[in-house]
Structure 1
Amino acid sequence: MSIRQVDALCEAQLVQLTELFQNLWWTPGRQLEDVRIAVGHSSLVIALIDEAADDRLVGFCRLLTDFTYRAMLYDVVVDPAYRGKGLGQRLINAVIAHPRLASVETIALACAADMAPFYERFGFQTQDSELLTMRRKKIL
C-alpha cells in the first residue's frame, strides 16, 4: 500500500473529505464550503493519501489547540474501503507523535462508546468527573 501522510488537502481531497463525511453518523449534511473553512481554520491537519490511487484521501483528522495546555481531536475518519488496514491507528499515532503537540498537556476527543476501546489503546481514558460536557448549538 502506498499511503503517505500529508498536512494539507488539495481541492480534490476536500471534495473527497466532504463525501466521506456524508456517510458518518456525526457529520451528514456537511457542505464543501463549510468543510473548507473548518479545515482551513484547524490548528493541525493530518491526512493519509493513497499515492497509487491518484492521491485519494483515505484517512483524516484535525486538531484545534493552543499548543500548550489543550488540544481537541476532531473528525477522525478512514475511508470505508481502507478500513481494517491500520490507518486509524496510523492517524492516532501521528497525532501522539506530532512534534508540535509534544508540549501539549492534554489531548482530548469525543467519541461514541463503541469506539472507546480503540482510543484506550493509545492512552486515552474515559473521564469520570463532576465536569459536564456542555454545548450551545446555533439555532437555524
Structure 2
Amino acid sequence: MSLQHSPLPALLGRGRSRSTLSLFHRPSSHFQSPALTSCMFLSFPSSFSASGLQRRHFSRLKANFWHSIKSGLLKNSPTPVMDPLSELPEEEKLEEEEEYEYEEIVLLEKEQPDGTIEKILFVCGGDVDVEDLQKLCDKVGWPRRPTTKVAAALRNSYMVASLHLHRQPPNSDGEEQRELIGMARATSDHVFNATIWDVLVDPHYQGQGLGKALVEQMIRALLRRDIGNITLFADAQVVEFYRNLGFQADPEGIKGMFWYPRF
C-alpha cells in the first residue's frame, strides 16, 4: 500500500503531539477576498499536551494573551505585555542568544513491501526550492506568482517550514529521493508578533493530519522563540480547521482589517 493511502496514526519523533489529527482543507484560491477571509488569533490550543505544554497553564495563558494584544492597541495602557516563555517548562525554552537553527522531525516512517523506506519529515529552517514550491501550488490549484517574488518572500520570511517525503529504495547506498509535499511560512517582528501564511499540503497527502502537524509545529517553534501573538488569514471554508487548532476570529471585538488600492 502506498504511503498516501495510509492513515497517520500518530506523530513520531521529537516534540510530537498525540492529539487526534483532522483533515487538512485547502483554500479555493491563493488570492483571498477580504469579504470571504477572516483574520484569526491564536489562544494556545489545548491539543498541545506533548513536550510540556500542559493544560493547567491554558486559562492563565489565554487571559494574558488578550491583555497583551490590548496593551499594544490602547495608548498609555498600564497592562504589561505577557512573557510566553515564563509560562513554558524549561525543556521548551531556548537560550536568548541562540540562533534560529535547522530543525527536522520525523512525522511518519514505514517500510513498503519492496523494502523501500518512506519517511515524512517536518523541516524548519531548511531551504525550499522555488520551482518545487511552484509545482506544489499547481497541485493545490493556487495561481502561480512571479518566481523572483516567491524567492524574495521566502528569503524575507522569519520562518519557513516544510513537509518532505523521503524515499530510500533498497540497495540505494543510503541515497534518498526527496519530494516537497507541504509548506508554510511566517513573517514576524522577531519579538512580539507573527503571522502565518501560505499553508498548503499536496492533495495526495491530505487527510492524514499533516496540515495540522505542520501548523502545530510552527506554533511550537514560535512560542519557543518568545513570540506569543500569532495570527493568520483564513478563507471561510477553513475557519473551522483553524478553530480546532485554537485560533479565534474577532476575539473580544478585535478585528483584522484590510486595505486595497481602489483603482
Short-chain TM bin: 0.7 to 0.9
1:27-85 CA distance string (max 9 Å, x none)? 41312222111111100001011111721111100000123221000000001111111
Q: Secondary structure at the match of 2:200?
A: strand
Match of 2:120 in 1: 3
Answer yes or no: is 1:85 the counterpart of 2:229: no
Specify which of 178, 188, 195 is matched with residue 55 of structure 1: 178
Match of 1:133 in 2: 257
Q: CA deviation at 1:118?
A: 0.8
The alpha-carbon distance between structure 1 residues 2 and 29, as it changes in their structure 2 partners (threshold 3 A), is: same
The alpha-carbon distance between structure 1 residues 104 and 96, as it changes in their structure 2 partners (threshold 3 A), is: same
Query: Which structure would you say has the larger Rg?
Result: 2
Give the RMSD, CA atoms, in angstroms.
Answer: 2.3
Which amino acid in 2 is paired with 1:51?
Answer: H
Match of 1:32 in 2: 147
Match of 1:65 in 2: 188
Residue identity (%): 28
Q: Secondary structure at the match of 1:125?
A: strand
Q: What TM-score comes out, normalization by structure 2 length?
A: 0.47
Answer yes or no: is 1:43 the counterpart of 2:158: yes
Q: CA deviation at 1:132?
A: 5.0
* 1:62–1:74 Cα contact (<8 Å) kept: yes
Q: CA deviation at 1:23?
A: 5.0
CA–CA distance in structure 1, aligned partners of residues 259 and 195 of structure 2: 15
Match of 1:122 in 2: 245
Gaps of 5+ in 2: 1-117, 168-175
CA–CA distance in structure 2, aligned partners of residues 33 and 54 of structure 1: 26
Q: What TM-score comes out, normalization by structure 1 length?
A: 0.83
Greater length-normalized contact order (CA 8 Å, ≥ 6 residues apart): 2
* 1:21–1:30 Cα contact (<8 Å) kept: no
Which amino acid in 1 is paired with 2:130?
Answer: L
The alpha-carbon distance between structure 1 residues 132 and 96, as it changes in their structure 2 partners (threshold 3 A), is: closer
* 2:162–2:183 Cα contact (<8 Å) kept: yes
Match of 1:76 in 2: 199
